Structure formats: structure tokens, C-alpha cells
């Protein structure tokens, strides 16, 4: 009888220990929960797919629904203070613009050659001829009029001039608040992401979804890059990590506008806050690009007005990036710029040049390949980053 009792106690202890071990296998900083439903309504996946319009093989690919092994949903990092990382990243990719300028400005007597050197440094950092000339002119006048000589004061003047050039008066907020239709129905904010291939569109959509999730917003992704299935897979992986669903096509070469439309419709019927639409960058010519983006815009706006059209530009491509910006600016009605790979260049002046070129503000910057390496752009913090320490 005693033996039986001990056997039961041993079994009970084993069960408790193994349950405890399973619990500890969760990674730190993650929640082991299923992706949250995008609205208060909880539909099972069969009902959901019945509600999503099936057009041209488009389907909603929900983040995994394996009930036995729920995927760990990551908790994205809060957004505040991310841009502070820029300083370290700029320093790693070479001598930042600010320190080059300060090296010249700290010379005893600034000669004509010194001022030329300053202007040249700005040009080499992709600031652009017009803005570089303006900065030198203004700085020269102020240094002379104020009779400033000590390095700290000169540095402060340079800081003010650079901030003015980046233009703190521009509205850099992202329009991601849900909208109201004329008949009073609630519509999601719709953000269309465009740009040539390889600039970081899909990565930016993924990072942006994380930013929104961190702010407790509900999100749907639209994989309107239908040239290759891998593009939708890439986007879906980003979404699944934070419990966000992706509307995609199940075949290569499907109509991107149809996918974009379905993504927005899904967002609308499910009452989500924001729909982010990724597009293809691989288009042979301007006419093809114009047709495709034009069609995507038209069909999306049948469901909900566009809140933002974000142009993604690679900061390391300099003048080439500016030419791309020009083309997209003409055709896509860009409302904001995302400058990616700022961690890969010490220049940074492209921020100024591209804003001047398009007349729209840089709203977000990519600071690396990490999932939370996307920061809201702030002129003061950016200039501090350029100036170092």
C-alpha cells in the first residue's frame, strides 16, 4: 500500500516538473499567443476566408493557426529614442559629415579656401548644390557678424544652420489614423509603399507594422508585389512575427491591383486601423510603372482614400536615388519619404537633397537590418547624429 502511495507521489512530481519546463521554453520578450484577431469579432479561419472576396486567386494568409504549437508573437520595441542609434551607425560607416565640417571650422583663421572646402564637403555628402551654397553663405555671414571664434559657438552655429536646412517646419507625422467615409462608416488608414527594387520596401512595411503593433494598432498587410511568390512570403514572415495577417495572391503574376484592393477591403470589413500595401520595384520602364501604380491607386481608392504614399529610397545611392525620386514623385503622388540604409553611409546630406527635390518630407529612416531599425525622422536628433558626441 505504501509502495503504491510513493508511486503516485513520484508520478505527480514528474507531471509538475514537465509542465514547468514547457512553460520556460518561451523566449524572453515574447508572448506565446495566437495572432490577435484584427477586430473585436472572433471568426474562425473558415468563416474569415469566406468573407474575403476571392478575386484572381487572392487569399488571406493568416499568421499560423496551429493550435497545438502556437507561434511566439514578438513584442516589438517602443519607438521613442530609436534615432539616437544613428550616431553610432554613422560613426561606423565613416567620418560623418558633421565632424568633417567641424574639423575645418575649428581652424584659426578661416580663409577663402577653407570656405570652399566646407562647401565641397557638403556637396560630397549629397546635400546638393543649392542647399550647400545657402548654408555656407548664411554661416559665413553669421560667423563674421557675430565675431564667433571659439569652437563651441561655431559648432552651435553650424548645428542651427544644418537644422534649418533639414527644415523642422515640415509635418513629418504619418497619417495612420482610421478615416471616416462620407456615409459615416469607419475606414482604415491606407499606406501605399513604392520605390525601385532593393531599396527596402518590404522590410520597411514589415518594420512599420511592428511600430504600429507596438502602439496597439491593428494592421493588415497587402502583398501587391506579385512578380514572385517569395516577395509575399517575405512580407508574410514579417507580419506573422507580430501576429499581423497578410493578404496575398496564391500565384505568381496575379494582378497587383486586385491584391491591393482585397487587402484594403479586408481591412475595411474587419475594422482594422491601418492597411499597409507593399508593391513591386521591378518594372522595366516608366510607362509600365505609371500604369501599374496608377491602377493600384485607382482600385484602392474605390474602397478607401489613400492616407500616405511612402517612397522608399536607399540613402547609399546618392544621385541615382534622386533620379528615382523624381520619377516616382511625378507619378505616384508621394506624401512622405522613407530613407533606408542610413547606417550604410556617413553622408546623410541626401535627406536635404531629396526633400528639396520632391517637396515632401523624410518621415522615416532605416537604420539597419534589425526588425526594429526604423525610426521616425526628427531634424534635431538627426543633426545631432551628424555632428557626433
Ligand X SMILES: Nc1nc2c(ncn2[C@@H]2O[C@H](COP(=O)(O)OP(=O)(O)OP(=O)(O)O)[C@@H](O)[C@H]2O)c(=O)[nH]1
Q: Which residues bind ligand X (CB under 6 A)?
A: 195, 197-203, 225, 231, 281-282, 340-341, 343-344, 366-369, 373
Query: Where do the H-state alpha helices sit in the chain?
Result: 2-24, 45-51, 85-92, 97-105, 112-124, 129-146, 151-166, 201-214, 229-241, 256-269, 286-303, 318-332, 350-358, 379-387
Query: How does strand 58-61 pair with strand 245-249?
Result: antiparallel
Select 248 or 341, whichever has its Cβ closest to ligand X.
341
Select 36 or 318, whichever has its Cβ closest to ligand X.
318
DSSP string, 312-380: EEEGGGHHHHHHHHHHHHHHH---EEEEE-GGG-S--THHHHHHHHHSS-EEEEE--SSTT-EEE--HH
Q: What mask, x for binding Mg ion by CB under 5 A, covers residues 144 to 183?
A: ----------------------------------------
Confirm or reject binding of residue 202 to Mg ion (CB under 5 A). Answer: yes
Q: Which does 197 bind (CB under 5 to 8 A by kind): Mg ion, ligand X, none?
A: ligand X
> Which of 237, 247, 289, 299 is CA-nearest to residue 270?
247
CB of 369 to Mg ion, least distance (A): 14
> Stretches 105-113, 163-171, 197-205, 246-254: which one binds Mg ion (CB under 5 A)?
197-205
Distance CA 374, CA 365 (A): 6
- The DSSP symbol for 36 reads P
- CA 381 centroid distance within chain: 18
Select 202 or 317, whichever has its Cβ closest to Mg ion.
202
Select 47 or 369, whichever has its Cβ closest to ligand X.
369
Select 106 or 237, whichever has its Cβ closest to Mg ion.
237
CB of 60 to ligand X, least distance (A): 21
Q: Which does 131 bind (CB under 5 to 8 A by kind): Mg ion, ligand X, none?
A: none
Give residues in contact with Mg ion (CB under 5 A): 201-202
Amino acid at each position: 500500500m505504501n509502495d503504491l502511495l510513493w508511486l503516485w507521489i513520484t508520478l505527480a512530481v514528474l507531471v509538475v516538473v514537465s509542465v514547468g519546463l514547457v512553460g520556460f521554453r518561451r523566449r524572453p520578450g515574447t508572448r506565446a499567443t495566437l495572432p490577435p484577431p484584427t477586430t473585436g469579432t472572433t471568426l474562425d479561419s473558415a468563416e474569415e476566408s469566406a468573407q474575403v472576396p476571392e478575386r484572381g486567386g487572392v487569399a488571406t494568409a493568416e499568421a499560423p493557426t496551429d493550435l497545438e504549437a502556437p507561434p511566439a508573437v514578438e513584442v516589438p520595441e517602443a519607438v521613442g529614442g530609436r534615432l539616437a542609434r544613428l550616431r553610432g551607425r554613422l560613426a561606423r560607416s565613416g567620418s560623418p559629415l558633421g565632424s568633417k565640417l567641424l574639423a575645418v571650422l575649428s581652424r584659426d583663421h578661416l580663409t577663402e579656401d577653407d570656405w570652399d572646402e566646407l562647401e565641397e564637403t557638403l556637396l560630397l555628402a549629397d546635400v546638393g548644390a543649392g542647399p550647400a551654397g545657402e548654408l555656407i553663405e548664411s554661416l559665413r555671414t553669421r560667423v563674421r557678424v557675430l565675431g564667433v571664434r571659439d569652437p563651441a559657438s561655431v559648432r552651435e552655429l553650424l548645428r542651427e544652420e544644418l537644422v534649418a536646412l533639414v527644415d523642422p517646419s515640415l509635418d513629418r507625422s504619418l497619417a495612420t489614423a482610421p478615416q471616416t467615409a462620407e456615409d459615416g462608416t469607419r475606414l482604415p488608414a491606407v499606406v501605399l509603399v513604392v520605390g525601385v527594387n532593393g531599396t527596402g520596401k518590404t522590410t520597411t512595411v514589415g518594420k512599420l507594422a511592428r511600430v504600429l503593433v507596438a502602439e496597439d494598432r491593428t494592421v493588415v498587410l497587402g502583398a501587391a508585389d506579385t512578380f514572385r511568390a517569395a516577395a509575399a512570403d517575405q512580407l508574410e514572415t514579417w507580419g506573422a512575427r507580430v501576429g499581423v495577417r497578410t493578404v496575398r495572391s496564391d500565384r505568381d503574376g496575379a494582378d497587383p491591383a486586385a491584391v491591393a484592393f482585397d487587402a484594403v477591403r479586408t481591412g475595411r470589413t474587419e475594422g482594422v486601423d491601418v492597411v499597409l500595401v507593399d508593391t513591386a520595384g521591378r518594372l522595366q520602364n516608366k510607362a509600365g510603372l505609371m500604369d501599374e501604380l496608377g491602377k493600384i491607386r485607382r482600385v484602392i481608392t474605390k474602397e478607401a482614400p489613400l492616407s500616405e504614399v511612402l517612397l522608399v529610397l536607399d540613402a547609399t545611392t546618392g544621385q541615382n536615388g534622386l533620379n528615382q525620386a523624381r520619377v516616382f514623385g511625378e507619378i505616384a503622388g508621394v506624401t512622405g519619404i522613407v530613407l533606408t540604409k542610413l547606417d550604410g553611409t556617413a553622408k546623410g546630406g541626401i535627406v536635404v537633397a531629396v526633400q528639396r527635390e520632391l517637396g515632401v518630407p523624410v518621415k522615416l529612416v532605416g537604420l539597419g537590418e534589425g526588425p526594429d531599425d526604423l525610426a521616425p525622422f526628427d531634424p534635431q536628433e538627426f543633426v545631432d547624429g551628424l555632428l557626433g558626441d
